[in-house]
Structure 1
Amino acid sequence: MMGGRRRGMQAPDSSWPGFVDALSSLLLVIIFLLSMFVLSQFFLGQAITGRDQALAELRGQVAQLGNLLKLEQQANSTLRTSMTDLAASLNVANADRDKISADLDALRSAFTVSDTRLAEMTAARERFEADAADLTEKFGLSAAALSEEQVLSRRAQAQVIQLQNNITALREQLARLSNALDASDERDRRNQAVIVDMGRRLNRALASKVQELAGYRSEFFGRLKEVLSTRPEIRIEGDRFVFASELLFASASAELGPVGRAEMRKFAETLVSISKEIPGELPWILRVDGHTDKRPISNALFKSNWELSSARAISVVEFLIEAGVPASRLAAAGFGEHQPIDPADNIFAYGRNRRIEMRLTQR
């Protein structure tokens, strides 16, 4: 029994040191995880800061494009204001002409009434003269009666003369009004000719700019056909160059791959060469449109096909800017899956709908 007590006193309790080691290991793991979390937050903040700077630059470029558009709109507004003023002058001249025409009609009516009264007075005078002659012949009126009739006849003649003078004055006034109406018609014709001439000159200028841009667009398409005709992934549909997304980007990515960068470099070199030949006053722009298929996407970078298509279009625009294309001549747009070329529901239709379209157009 004494030996058992000695053995009990000699055996130490080892549970406490093992618990301390476990806690120390757990604490080291937690410190390591917190360090990794802090590092990831730091790198993530750096990436977000770089994107904010790029977004600010793009906003500045959009503001510049907006200012240029406002200048063009002001010029168009000035032309429209000039045409509106001329149209208002024409309306005023038409109103004056209508008023003169109304006055002329009133004078013609008065002239007709005067002619009627003159005819009545003339007929009355003739009746008076006939009656006087009859009375003289039949009854032998006295000299006093005959003198009275003569007085009446002279009065009637005076009234006829006055009416004739009034008619003459009315005719002169009618002639003046007719001359004024002719002058107003001549002003109307001149104003109308000016408006027609301005419209023709504006249409000729617009048609000339459109034809000139169409000529450069044809040359641009011809050169790009020669440069890019070896790639089956590049198609020409109407007035657009269509690049298959598989040629430029990896799946669910907006970063240009090596093959895509090589093709975009050829495209940029051709565009820079053509842009040097296009006059600076032509308002041309290269629009880059991003499209996806209708299968939904949701990952850490892109929450929807809208974001993926827009990011791909912006990536192409940024590469073209780096290759020397002026930023003021570029525009990027994303359409997601909402403008498909092929509405079918199979992998071939999906491949055709995933694309980047480029179009040379006006602002």
Structure 2
Amino acid sequence: MIGSRRRSRSTTNVWPGYVDALSALLMLVIFMLLIYVVSQLFLSQTLSDRNSELARLNQRLTEISQLLGLEQSKTDALEQQILTVQSNFSDSQSENKNLQDRLEASRNQLMQQTADAEARAETLANMNQELDNKDELSVSQQNMILQLSNQIASLQNQLRQITAALKLQKEMTADKDGELENVSRRLNTLLAERVNQLEQYQSEFFSRLRNILAANENIRVVGDRFLLPSELLFASGSAQLGDEGKRELDKLAGVLLEVVKTIPADLDWILRIDGHTDLIPINTLQFPSNWELSTARAVAVVRYLSNQGVPQNRMVAAGFGEFFPVAEGVTQGALQKNRRIEIKLTDR
């Protein structure tokens, strides 16, 4: 009886513990459900805000494209206006030179005729002095004096006309110089705006590519360039792309093609691929020097990106050999840093 009572009492006391455990478990489940619901709400709000921001950016890109089209039309008109102004300016300079030559010739002629007139006047004065005792001059002498007076008056009139024409020409030249300076200033402003636009697309390309390639610790960023180690793309002494290098270039091509869609067609951009080696010389039948090796590697990257859809006329390959190191010394670390492919989005 005593054992039966103990078993009955023990069985009866277990249930409150079960109830407490189930209550705690139920509260934990409810708490987790609340956290899940709150996180889902926050995630939905974040995605909604991001979609709104993307829509706003797309609208802004459309507006920029339209503005670029208008600016291109204005640029064409300004260039045509500059050509016209330059042509008119050249004509004005030629006409100005002709007027100056005519003025100089007229001055020389006037000086010569004035000297002749003075000589003749002196001669008439002498004749007048000799004829003081006579009451009147001869008819021929009176005609000669009248003719000389008319010639002097005519030359003075021509000199005044040439001086006025020269003054007018100088004023026209000054106006055209001012107009040419104004057009040049507007073109410089437009060029600066185009440079700023290219810098915006460079920044976008740089940001996206850095986020994608950030997982690879071997890829370095120096200024506005991406530095890919040669070992990532090629085997030692080879210009043949490896599988790992192709995968990294696939990421690069994907980012570039997305950015290219937003760049206006009239913006003159290029993707520059530079090949660099270390200072250890190479001398093989295929690569007589580091110049050939670095150039061949840059060309291999360009060809691969072209096969992925990147426009060929928007890429350039260059080989610099060992002459532009980024690390000094002959340690293995320095040599490895100098063996690289540099990628940069810039203007032509």
Bin for the TM-score computed over the shorter chain: 0.5 to 0.7
Partner residue of 1:92 out of 87, 91, 94: 94
Unaligned runs of 5+ in 2: 1-79
- Deviation of 1:206 after TM superposition, in Å, equals 4.1
Please tell me whether the aligned partners of residues 89 and 173 of structure 2 are also in contact (alpha carbons under 8 angstroms): no
Partner residue of 1:309 out of 279, 294, 298: 294
The aligned counterpart of 2:253 is 268
Whether 1:318 and 2:306 are equivalent positions in the alignment is no
In 2, the alpha carbon distance for the partners of 1:153 and 1:226 equals 110
Partner residue of 1:234 out of 206, 219, 233: 219
The aligned counterpart of 1:214 is 199
In 1, the alpha carbon distance for the partners of 2:258 and 2:341 equals 22
The aligned counterpart of 2:275 is 290
- Deviation of 1:283 after TM superposition, in Å, equals 1.9
- Deviation of 1:354 after TM superposition, in Å, equals 0.3
Please tell me whether the aligned partners of residues 290 and 322 of structure 2 are also in contact (alpha carbons under 8 angstroms): yes
- TM-score of the pair, normalised by structure 2: 0.62
The aligned counterpart of 1:351 is 336
Q: Deviations over 1:247-274 (max 9, x none)?
A: 3334334344444333323322221121
Count how many residue pairs are aligned between Structure 1 and Structure 2.
269
The aligned counterpart of 1:21 is none
In 1, the alpha carbon distance for the partners of 2:289 and 2:162 equals 76
Please tell me whether the aligned partners of residues 125 and 157 of structure 1 are also in contact (alpha carbons under 8 angstroms): no
In 1, the alpha carbon distance for the partners of 2:241 and 2:81 equals 45
Amino acid at match of 1:239: D
Secondary structure of the corresponding residue to residue 323 of structure 2: coil
In 2, the alpha carbon distance for the partners of 1:180 and 1:300 equals 75
- TM-score of the pair, normalised by structure 1: 0.60
Partner residue of 1:151 out of 106, 111, 136: 136
Structure 1 residues 185 and 118, CA, compared in 2 at 3 Å: closer, same or farther?
farther
Partner residue of 1:102 out of 87, 104, 107: 104
- Deviation of 1:88 after TM superposition, in Å, equals 5.2
Structure 1 residues 236 and 86, CA, compared in 2 at 3 Å: closer, same or farther?
farther
Secondary structure of the corresponding residue to residue 170 of structure 1: helix
Please tell me whether the aligned partners of residues 293 and 336 of structure 1 are also in contact (alpha carbons under 8 angstroms): yes
Secondary structure of the corresponding residue to residue 265 of structure 1: helix
- Deviation of 1:203 after TM superposition, in Å, equals 4.2
In 1, the alpha carbon distance for the partners of 2:137 and 2:222 equals 101
Q: Deviations over 1:129-148 (max 9, x none)?
A: 9x54xxxxxxxxxxxxxxxx
In 2, the alpha carbon distance for the partners of 1:103 and 1:300 equals 75
Please tell me whether the aligned partners of residues 93 and 188 of structure 1 are also in contact (alpha carbons under 8 angstroms): no
- Deviation of 1:320 after TM superposition, in Å, equals 2.1
- Deviation of 1:158 after TM superposition, in Å, equals 5.2
In 2, the alpha carbon distance for the partners of 1:235 and 1:206 equals 32
Structure 1 residues 167 and 80, CA, compared in 2 at 3 Å: closer, same or farther?
closer
Please tell me whether the aligned partners of residues 92 and 169 of structure 2 are also in contact (alpha carbons under 8 angstroms): no
In 2, the alpha carbon distance for the partners of 1:118 and 1:311 equals 90
Structure 1 residues 80 and 233, CA, compared in 2 at 3 Å: closer, same or farther?
farther
Please tell me whether the aligned partners of residues 125 and 153 of structure 1 are also in contact (alpha carbons under 8 angstroms): no
Please tell me whether the aligned partners of residues 96 and 166 of structure 2 are also in contact (alpha carbons under 8 angstroms): no
The aligned counterpart of 2:315 is 330
Structure 1 residues 80 and 295, CA, compared in 2 at 3 Å: closer, same or farther?
farther
Unaligned runs of 5+ in 1: 1-77, 133-148
In 2, the alpha carbon distance for the partners of 1:270 and 1:175 equals 73
Please tell me whether the aligned partners of residues 104 and 178 of structure 1 are also in contact (alpha carbons under 8 angstroms): no
Amino acid at match of 2:102: I
Structure 1 residues 193 and 219, CA, compared in 2 at 3 Å: closer, same or farther?
same
Whether 1:362 and 2:347 are equivalent positions in the alignment is yes
Please tell me whether the aligned partners of residues 201 and 263 of structure 2 are also in contact (alpha carbons under 8 angstroms): yes
Identity %: 39
Amino acid at match of 1:324: G
In 1, the alpha carbon distance for the partners of 2:288 and 2:115 equals 89
Q: Deviations over 1:153-172 (max 9, x none)?
A: 88766554443322222222
